[in-house]
Structure 1
């Protein structure tokens, strides 16, 4: 398995050794609408045209790095995780 960096979205993509093209992968165009993923324009690009990713980045992550979410996935920064005013309780008839 080899890691390449997509020239269009700049994301690292792992590719099996027998593949000749970048696999189909998605890109989120805006962080404010995380469910609007589109197919990256770099999908299907020939690997001969792309340089391999930095080998220093391909090292195995530590357990702490593996279990830590990237800052882009912090739930407190997501637009759908905002605090709302509590709804007052309705009285039930006795």
Structure 2
């Protein structure tokens, strides 16, 4: 499966490189766009769950790296949960 990385910038300016085992991320995010925290979390959940399911369909087990990345994103987002104006930028995709 074609894996990819995508770079995000949290509301405080911190950059993070994220992992997906599938190119499905490209269906949910556009490089250079920023998303409200809730929208970013919903898109991340949808994309990474689909990616994990694709791995499961092919190899018989969900992708622990995709699920771990989702957990990391959810954990990181908690720091901004009291800031409704918080936005997360998707900076780039790297195959």
TM-score, normalised by the number of residues in structure 2: 0.28
Question: Which structure is higher in helix share?
Answer: 2
Question: Which structure is higher in strand share?
Answer: 2
TM-score, normalised by the number of residues in structure 1: 0.28
- The structure number with the bigger radius of gyration is 1
